[in-house]
Amino acid sequence: MRELPLDDLPKHSPWSARLLGLDDWDGESYGGTGVSWYDGAYGGLLELASENPEFDFRDVKRSAHHHTQESPVAISERESLYLADIDEKLDRQEAALVAAFDGVLSGEETVVALGCGWGHELGVLADAYPDCEFVGGEPSENGVALARELFGDRDRIRVEPFDFREDSWEILDCDDFGVADSEVVVFTQGSLTALPSAREVVTETLVDHLDRVREGVHLEHVFELNPEDTLLGQLRRSYIRERGYNDDLLASLRDADAIDVTETTYDVVGGNPLHPLSEVHWRPA
């Protein structure tokens, strides 16, 4: 992995030119944010897994990334940019995911991952924390189907249909998943990002379920943490606006009286350096 000066980012990412209006681009061609877009993408991965029954969840992830990208790729960590091989990028993303639960999981807890996609994060966490249980919730039918295909034989991983927009999140108190008896840690990775606003979900639904939750952990693209006074921060703010992702997750958590945000870490890793994941932890107040 070698450092990439911000000035050289345009050689490795089309996004700065798009954001600065120097490149005609059709927003639709670069991946959507709605459930139907994800469902289509996960349908392709479901086919890939069916055609390659020997693939485990890491093989699916790696194969998909090698299919759509060429090494080296631009990534970020703590506001520095790097060029990395695809496998190294994926290793760093896995490491950031596991590290987000350092000091959070001691065993016996149930991690409920909301918007878990096809469950890759559940596989990584189950390997790293062998005494915990993992329940994933996901609205995409293909995502749930692929997760069940890949993890159906694992006792500690369950995946169920779930949508943030439901009035009540039964996934957090369903006896069938073993959740009712254990301490629950709620987790999201890149899924709250997909909502045009996080405020209603946080202040009207999440807060109603806090009696079931010991802690919240998020690896999300947090608009508010992007500096307003650096070029990189401004490009990242512009990226979120351009793509229609929400800009109110952290403010919504901080504004909720029933939630104490205990820790934020900016840019733990950015598979897209203009759209990095930041880590947020909270506890019920």
Ligand X SMILES: C[S@@+](CC[C@H](N)C(=O)[O-])C[C@H]1O[C@@H](n2cnc3c(N)ncnc32)[C@H](O)[C@@H]1O
Smallest gap from residue 190 Cβ to ligand X (A): 4
Using CA atoms, how far apart are residues 121 and 136, in angstroms rounded to an integer?
A: 9
Nearer to ligand X, 16 or 246 (CB): 246
Smallest gap from residue 189 Cβ to ligand X (A): 4
Using CA atoms, how far apart are residues 242 and 156, in angstroms rounded to an integer?
A: 39
Q: Find the binding residues for ligand X in span 186-225 (CB under 6 A).
A: 189-191, 194
Nearer to ligand X, 17 or 128 (CB): 128
Using CA atoms, how far apart are residues 92 and 78, in angstroms rounded to an integer?
A: 12
Is residue 38 near ligand X by the rule CB under 6 A?
A: yes
Cβ pair 74, 4 in contact under 8 A: yes
Sheet of 80-84, strands arranged across: 2-3, 80-84, 73-77
Smallest gap from residue 191 Cβ to ligand X (A): 3
Using CA atoms, how far apart are residues 159 and 157, in angstroms rounded to an integer?
A: 7
Among 6, 35, 207, 251, binds ligand X (CB under 6 A): 35
Buried b / exposed e along 65-88 (16+ C-beta atoms within 10 A):
beeeeeebbbbbbebebbbbebeb
Is residue 150 near ligand X by the rule CB under 6 A?
A: no
Give me the 107-146 binding string for ligand X, x by CB under 6 A, dash otherwise.
--------xxx--xx----------------xxx--x---
* AA letter at 259: I
Residues that bind ligand X in the complex, under the rule CB under 6 A: 35, 38, 115-117, 120-121, 138-140, 143, 162-165, 189-191, 194
